[in-house]
C-alpha cells in the first residue's frame, strides 16, 4: 500500500474525529478518541517510531465498546552484512473493548481483527541492487492500557497493542503514551 493511500485513510478519519469531538455528548454512553505516540517493535526489525489513532464508542448499558484504530510505523535498520533497509507498516483494525473505572483511573482491554500492510525497501549499496518486498495479512490483535482524566474531557494515558503478519510469522508490539478526549459514564 502506498503512502498516499494510507495518508488518505488517516485524513479520512480526522474529519470523523473532528465531528465526534465537536458534537455535544449526551450524559449516557462512552465516546473516546486517542492519539498514541510511541514505537512499534518487530522481532527482527527493532523499534520503529509509530503513531496511531484509536476510537471507542458504546451506548449506555452496553457491556463492551466498539473499537477502531489506524496505526503507522516506519524506520531503518541494517542486516548482518550492513545493508540498509527502510521499512513501513500500516495497520487498521476493528474490535471490541471493555473499560472500567477504578477511582479516577480507567483501564481498558480490547481485541479484534486488523489488516496489516508491511513494506521493506532494500537501499542499493556498492554490490547490491535496489528492491522492495511487500506483504499484507489479516490477523487478530489484543490491546490494553489505561488513562487518567485531566478535566474538560481530556485524558492522558498509556497503551500497548500486539498484532502481526502471519506470512512473516512476525508479531509487532505497538506501545506508547496517549492523549485523547472523551466522555464516559461509570462502567
Give domain limits for the chain: 3-184
Q: Does position 187 have pLDDT exceeding 50, yes or no? A: no
- Grid cell, residue 44, equals 527482527
Q: Does position 126 have pLDDT exceeding 70, yes or no? A: no
The least confident of 9-18, 36-45, 167-176 is 9-18
Give me the mean pLDDT over the 73-101 stretch: 83
**Predicted TM-score of the model (pTM):** 0.72
Give me the mean pLDDT over the 102-116 stretch: 91
Any residues with CB less than 8 A from the CB of 67 and at least 6 apart, and which?
Answer: 54, 55, 56, 94, 95, 96, 97, 110, 112, 143
CATH number 3.40.50.261 is the correct assignment for the domain at 3-184 = no
Rounded to an integer, what distance in angstroms lies between the CA atom of residue 73 and that of residue 87?
8
Q: Does position 20 have pLDDT exceeding 80, yes or no? A: no
Q: Coil, strand, or helix at residue 173? A: strand
Amino acid at each position: 500500500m502506498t503512502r498516499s493511500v494510507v495518508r488518505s485513510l488517516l485524513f479520512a478519519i480526522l474529519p470523523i474525529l473532528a465531528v465526534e469531538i465537536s458534537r455535544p455528548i449526551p450524559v449516557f454512553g462512552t465516546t473516546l478518541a486517542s492519539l498514541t505516540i510511541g514505537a512499534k517493535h518487530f522481532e527482527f526489525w527493532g523499534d520503529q517510531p509509530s503513531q496511531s489513532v484509536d476510537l471507542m464508542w458504546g451506548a449506555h448499558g452496553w457491556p463492551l465498546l466498539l473499537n477502531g484504530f489506524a496505526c503507522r510505523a516506519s524506520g531503518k535498520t541494517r542486516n548482518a552484512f550492513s545493508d540498509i533497509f527502510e521499512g513501513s507498516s500500516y495497520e487498521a483494525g476493528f474490535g471490541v473493548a471493555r473499560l472500567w473505572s477504578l477511582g479516577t483511573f480507567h483501564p481498558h482491554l480490547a481485541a479484534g481483527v486488523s489488516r496489516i500492510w508491511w513494506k521493506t525497501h532494500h537501499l542499493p549499496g556498492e554490490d547490491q541492487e535496489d528492491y522492495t518486498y511487500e506483504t499484507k495479512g489479516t490477523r487478530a490483535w489484543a490491546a490494553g492500557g489505561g488513562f487518567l482524566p485531566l478535566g474538560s474531557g481530556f485524558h492522558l494515558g498509556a497503551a500497548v497493542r500486539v498484532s502481526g503478519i502471519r506470512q512473516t510469522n512476525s508479531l509487532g508490539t505497538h506501545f506508547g503514551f496517549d492523549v485523547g478526549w472523551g466522555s464516559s459514564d461509570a462502567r
